[in-house]
Amino acid sequence: MKRTTLMWTAIMVTMALGLALQAGADSRTFLTLASGSPGGVYYPLGGGMAVVIEKTVPELRCAAESTGASVENSRLVGGGNSDMGMVMGSVGFKARDGQQPFEKKYDVVALFQMYPAPEHIVTTTKSGIKTIADLKGKKVSIDVPGSGCAIMAAAILEGAGFDLKKDLTIANLSQSESVQALKDGVVDAVFFNFAYPGSAVMDLAATRDIVLVSLDKALVDKLLQKYPYYVPITIPRGTYSKVDYDVLCLGDSNVLIANKDMKEEVAYKIVKAIFSNVKEGQFALVNIHPIAAQLTPGNAVVSPLPLHPGAQKYFKEIGALK
């Protein structure tokens, strides 16, 4: 009888200890991060960020979710169904503003810009094109109809004063088709929209002397007034072979958003953890995807969405914001 009593006492102690441990674990704040579908950049990078938060911030737990990316993530975060989400800056801006494809305004803010996606304007030395004005009368590929690249290319060209039906010949070729067409001289210049360094441009630079057309600052400022969801982006000199000058571009951004109601201290800890584990440490994000190298404080604070106060606190601490 005594042995049975001792056995039950041991069981009860074990159960109580288990419940206490569970309660301790559950006391941590659980977060979700909406990323994207497998195959894209958002999916592995989002998973890596979730691991960084989970493993380096004792008060927080975090899990990444595979989603349909920007539009879905804006709705998930804005509706309070996810804590964070990866979105294109232009999509996040429209979600916050209640523009199509969104049926209402969503209270989303930026934790930081992850990496920019500048609109590359690429040609060759053979074309003689050096400025946007030199495109007049030329044949230019702007990507497939309806793509983000084609929409931004049209905005840039019209902003520069071109009539797209009269002043140049527009071709709607895919990225791979544009590369081959420029190599063969079928087109004089091509527009690409992706993070740098882009493989399509590197492919061209391997066999041709390329030129990247830099936009005039006055044109960029004019475009930003009309399209506030775009951002100015400079491709640093040396990013591409023989391009030994900085290239000013109009571009879209890729932003990690949160609901505006996220607690300031939670947002601060998230941002600090991620930027402390970009290139160094056991959970370095550059080991997950090379695009993480562009997670720099300078890039982080350039966003078409306002920064969460917790994010502002961190970036002011490290001198990236005044």
Q: What is the pLDDT of residues 28-83, one digit of tens each?
A: 899 999 998 887 789 999 999 999 999 999 999 999 999 988 999 999 999 999 99
Chain position carrying tokens 């720099």: 296
With beta carbons less than 8 A apart as the criterion, state whether 262 and 83 touch: yes
Is residue 23's pLDDT more than 70?
no
Give ∠ CA 41-45-49 in degrees, rounded to 5. Answer: 160
Predicted local confidence at residue 26, as pLDDT: 57
Domain interval for residue 185: 117-252
**So what's the pLDDT on residue 240?**
94
Q: Is residue 322 part of a domain?
A: no
* Final residue belonging to a domain, choices 252, 275, 307: 252
Other CB atoms within a 10 A radius of the CB of residue 46 amount to: 29
Write down the pLDDT at residue 226: 95
Residue 194 has pLDDT above 90, yes or no: no
Quote the number of domains for the chain: 2
pLDDT of residue 285: 97
Assigned token pair, 194: 């992706």
257 contacts: CB under 8 Å, gap ≥ 6? 73, 74, 77, 84, 85, 86, 87, 92, 108, 109, 110, 111, 305
pLDDT at 13 over 90: no
Mean pLDDT, residues 197-220: 94
**75-110 pLDDT, tens digit each:** 999 999 999 999 999 999 999 999 988 999 999 999
Q: Can you give the chain as a three-state secondary structure string?
A: CHHHHHHHHHHHHHHHHHHHHHHHHHCCEEEEEECCCCCCCHHHHHHHHHHHHHHHCCCEEEEEECCCCHHHHHHHHHCCCCCEEEEEHHHHHHHHHCCCCCCCCCCEEEEEEEEEEEEEEEEEHHHCCCCHHHHCCCEEECCCCCCHHHHHHHHHHHHCCCCCCCCCEEECCCHHHHHHHHHHCCCCEEEEECCCCCHHHHHHHHHCCEEECCCCHHHHHHHHHHCCCCEEEEECCCCCCCCCCCEEEEEEEEEEEEECCCCHHHHHHHHHHHHCCCCCCCCCHHHCCHHHHHCCHHHHCCCCCCECHHHHHHHHHCCCCC
Same domain, 130 and 193: yes
pTM: 0.79
Domain identity same for 63 and 87: yes
Rounded to an integer, the average pLDDT of 251-257 is 95
pLDDT in tens, 259-308: 999 999 999 999 999 999 999 889 999 999 999 999 999 999 999 999 99
Domain containing residue 172: CATH number: 3.40.190.10
Contacts of 101 (CB under 8 A, 6+ apart): 71, 94
| 228 domain-assigned | yes
Q: Torsions phi, psi of 306, nearest 5?
A: -65, 145
pLDDT reading at 4 higher than 60: no
In terms of residues, how long is the chain?
322
* Nearest CA-CA partner of 189 in 139, 247, 258: 139
Residues 188 and 259 in one domain: no
Same-domain pairing of 26 and 91 = yes
Local confidence band at 8 (pLDDT 50, 70, 90 cut-offs): very low
Whether residue 168 sits in one domain with residue 86: no
Domain boundary residue, one of 236, 252, 268: 252
Report residue 72 as tokens.
């879905």
Q: How much is the pLDDT for 261?
A: 96
Is 288 part of any domain? yes
Does residue 6 sit in the same domain as residue 106?
Answer: yes
Name residue 151's amino acid. I
Q: By the 8 A CB rule, do 42 and 85 touch?
A: no
Summarised one tens digit per residue, pLDDT across range 169-185 is 999 999 899 999 999 99
Cis, bond preceding 101 (omega within 30 deg of 0):
yes
In the predicted model, is pLDDT for residue 151 greater than 70? yes
Residues of the chain with pLDDT > 90, as a percent, come to 79
Last residue of a domain, one of 202, 218, 252: 252
The stretch 231-256 carries a mean pLDDT of 94
Pairing of strands 231-235, 247-259: antiparallel
